[in-house]
Amino acid sequence: MRQRGKPKEYLRVIASKKRPGARIRLAVRRCFITHGRLVTVRQVLDRAYPRLRRFTSWHYLAARRALRQSASVVARNRFGRGRAALWARNMDAT
């Protein structure tokens, strides 16, 4: 019998690949250009998904994963729900 779809191992390898032109990584790069030195996860999500107003947990997870590759947490917002982390670009990241 023929297997439908791709095996789980293959899909796991594909999901872990780094894609340089991916939507969220591109949004991170553009957020640092437009917003300046400090950005939040929400700003990245607004740039990556301009038509969405509510985001699921995997949206936030993907944005944090993309930010971790090129930035680091330097502070917390002073006000706001959950006191979102403020991210600054790493000096060695381009």
Q: Is 28 exposed, middle or buried (0-12, 13-18, 19+ CB in 10 A)?
A: buried
DSSP state letters, 10-51: HHHHHHTS--TT-HHHHHHHHHHHHH-SEE-HHHHHHHH-TT
Q: Is 61 helix (H, G, I), strand (E, B) or coil?
A: helix
pTM of the model: 0.75
Sign, CA dihedral 53-73-89-67, equals: negative
Please state, rounded to an integer, the average pLDDT across all residues of the chain. 85
User: Is residue 77 assigned to a domain?
Assistant: yes
Kindly state the average pLDDT of the residues 1-26: 72
Q: What's the confidence (pLDDT) of residue 32?
A: 95
18 located within any domain: no
- What amino acid occupies position 25? R
Query: Which domain does 56 fall in, by range?
Result: 23-89
Looking at residue 7, its pLDDT comes to: 73
C-alpha to C-alpha distance for 30 and 23, rounded to whole angstroms: 11
Task: Identify the weakest region by mean pLDDT among 5-14, 21-30, 47-56, 63-72.
Answer: 5-14
Specify the number of domains making up the chain: 1
In total, the chain counts a number of residues equal to 94
- Split at pLDDT 50, 70, 90, the class of 1 is low
Residue 41 scores a pLDDT above 80: yes
pLDDT interval class at 9 (50, 70, 90): confident
What CATH number is associated with residue 60?
1.10.10
8 occurs within a structural domain: no
Does residue 11 or residue 80 have the better pLDDT?
Answer: 80
